[in-house]
Amino acid sequence: MTAVEELLAVMARLRDPERGCPWDRAQDFRSIVPHTLEEAYEVADAIERDDHPAMRDELGDLLFQVVFYAQIGREAGSFDFEAIARAVTDKLIRRHPHVFGDREETTAGSQRATWEAIKAEERAERASGDAAPSALDDVPLALPALTRSRKLQSRAARVGFDWPEPGQVIDKLREELGELEEALGDSPRDPAHVHEEMGDLLLACVNLSRQIGVDPEQALRDGNAKFERRFRGLEAIIANTGQDLESVGFDRLEAAYQQAKARDQGIDPT
């Protein structure tokens, strides 16, 4: 028995109506979605830390999620693990005609264009009823907002709806920031208007990141990590003075943060 076959057998046993685990038996497609998302983020975290043993373990946990869905699908008579594997294999072969067919691709850019053209054909084939297919079809609602925004804007850009130069996006960013400032200056302030303008500003930020080839989700993850590292440095600086964070005031905290930032950049703050 292969490792995959054993894993499938373990999953079937966990779901056994008589001898299985009560928790596993109680789950359905919807109930395990949060666990799947959590496992995907734990894979990303292990990769960020370049922790290979953790990558192996977290990828195993993510694979178990696929096996879980496959078992539920098998019980419903919809699909099983074999059908999942076959579907993705067929998709990869279909989307790589330059590898598995007679099409020639000489650059990564042309290959990407072929990939997207094939995906567009697949979306058109899946379109049901009289609804006209859209360039924005099949961008999952469950994606993180930054990632979904980038995907939506990339789709729009492929049909020509895009600023020609990053500088124009920066101008748009300044415009959106000005509109947010105006909304904040309203008296009385309209929270719904502020919310809307903040969304427009974030949308412009994502647009700029896409234009300059920066993944906004990854950039923010890296920014979060940097902020956390420097804030922990701030905490250590204040702790060494015997003071409490809550009692020193913003100016002292900001000074400590700048000191921690300098240390993080390898600069001697003294």
CATH number, residue 190:
1.10.287.1080
With a threshold of 0.75, does the pTM exceed it?
no
Q: Do the beta carbons of residue 177 and residue 201 sit within 8 Å?
A: yes
Q: Are residues 181 and 241 in the same domain?
A: no
pLDDT value of position 126? 67
pLDDT tens series, the chain, 270 aa:
899 999 999 999 999 999 999 999 999 999 999 899 899 989 988 998 899 999 999 999 999 999 999 999 999 999 999 999 999 999 898 888 888 877 776 676 677 777 677 777 766 666 655 567 788 888 888 888 999 999 999 989 988 889 999 999 999 999 999 999 999 998 889 999 999 999 999 999 999 999 999 999 889 989 999 999 999 999 999 999 998 898 989 999 999 999 999 999 888 766
What is the number of domains present in the chain? 4
Q: 260 and 196, same structural domain?
A: no
With respect to residue 210, please indicate whether it lies within any of the assigned structural domains. Answer: yes
Query: What range defines the domain where residue 187 resides?
Result: 145-214
- 248 and 186, same domain (yes or no): no
Residues 72 and 122 in one domain: no
pLDDT value of position 267: 82
87 and 74 within one domain: yes
Domain assignment present for residue 250? The answer is yes
269 within domain boundaries: no
